[in-house]
Structure 1
């Protein structure tokens, strides 16, 4: 049932019959007037388009992460104090994860927790791609976009901090890299190392602090940012696909009402996400402790998961001797590749709504998704940026592929440039050969 209004239509001079209004729970309705809440929000229209469910997949994944994390916290011990297990001395954290792996249901829940993190990050990224390439970050939705960028950063941070929790050889090595990056920040590096890692790493204070960040600070931050993001979306309404343009009334959203139609679809989506995560957890093993074993004096060769691999690729591209000093401050390659570059990336992402200087009257109202080819420069820059990230993932493996550092630099820079230039040229040429009407320039924002 499609509708274009978020309020219940009424006939002229029609007085609502309060007694005839459906009552929600009787006793609760008398005290809380829940039917008024349903009248105000239950008929809010949601566009019926597959890409609009990406944000909901991220939210449902976060809910699953919280629930599975609560269960795992009942078994896990955030301590690196050694205890004797089966005649072998092991860190308590490592031993507690061993216990989780030995219980089939607990191990399944651990695997679901792991895959839910990947799905949440992937859905946030795909949701961001849709918003970027369709131009729906423009005025008045700048703050909604910025909150999405912050949410992505928090989710990546949660994934990184989660590396430390098993406290195996992989965890200690990967977290040690993060410790080195924190210390490389000029002026405040040691302060950050003391705050987040308890000073030296590894130390008795490292894991409890990282655990607190992972299970308390970041989840509460994500919850706050996600709530604000949803509040802004509720206030500013959803953008609609192009097919809704001739059908929607001015100022209205064409779609299905929140209750009961969208709620039913969302309920189905919850079970689909949970079912998919359960299948992955059952058939695709997740970082078994036996793969690396407990921490040792030797440093294993490790690479982060895909969502952090681009930073690892930058670190591999920067020569070890690159750096300079400004007075008493030393700027090293770790800071340049592992801190400054990601900070610039997220800073540019946050500023996208203000950097986009395209004429709004040419693009049309932000109420509708703009076809990506209508903004060729944005499409070319976005495709080039994504290709650059892909090449950085490739650069993380350049030595295994038998390439030199110079060859990797050449490929990393040239491929995105060639692709973005080709896309821009193709769209320009196509628009000249097959001119088409742009968005209606008379539509008001």
Structure 2
């Protein structure tokens, strides 16, 4: 069978053909590879440059490659944070005619790190908690769309900085399956697998001296169960309110918005006696602040980054002379938002040299500037402004921040 590339984009096969498909992945020359941190995998995984893209390549059976390729594409259509499936390569043959394993190609997730790389600096307990929070949110989002992961773990997840927290992305979907809905038993199985996997991963770090002494693997692995349970309960519980206090429904929806979720469909039912109202969120979509920022500015960010940027945008709009929310003739929020992007956001980010950004995307850079501005203003007891903030951030903060993209690759 000749070499065949099944891709999601018509442009991909042309530059993917230039890669060394006639060699086992373990034997690819260093010139073809990109030195990026990678986690532990059951399969051989390497990063390579293909045209202008950096891709992750995993050798796996054809059935597994094609199945995971379709699952990742389904997750993308469902707006679930996961790596982008680019292609499946089959029909690989060595120079001597020996058949080689097919390969699944995914796009490298810029700014992301596997958990082992993050623990190289003996991560503090608070940061471990934020990683587990991100993983719990990812698992809830998967379960809301009917995806049973089957192998939830830190190893099968990539993490990106999201303002002061982290965003978790699914990186290995080969054990997953999508169904119309999940039973409590299916969800419990995923949670239990996550608990056991996380305990084992943290124990492994502990044995290698990479775990903070105050982090107990069993205690922290149990915490994922509580985090998941609290979030799932808040997103799916039925509420009964007095009929005279129907505004409690709005308050509940705002609380869900604060968690980063939109209520896309709901069920509201009045009791036969008319004295109570029952409210049940039926469809809950993640990314409330992401969608709001995207609608106003066209910027696509992580959820917590969007929340941070929206707060700054709203404060800035309130200072503009033509911002009159009650006046239909005043400037529309979308107009002001694009002005903010041009006059405030872009100049501030561009003032930070690219080589000093440590792999941070523009939204994260701006969030960091906002945090530093708050610190400087608190110390000075007045608003120091963005210009002074940028200068201080470049000279006082960035030179002391370690580069998270430095090579700390783990053996497969």
Instruction: Give the alignment's TM-score, normalised by structure 1.
Output: 0.24
Report 1 or 2 for greater relative contact order, CA contacts < 8 Å, sequence distance ≥ 6: 1
More strand by share: 2
More helix by share: 1
Q: Which has the larger radius of gyration?
A: 1
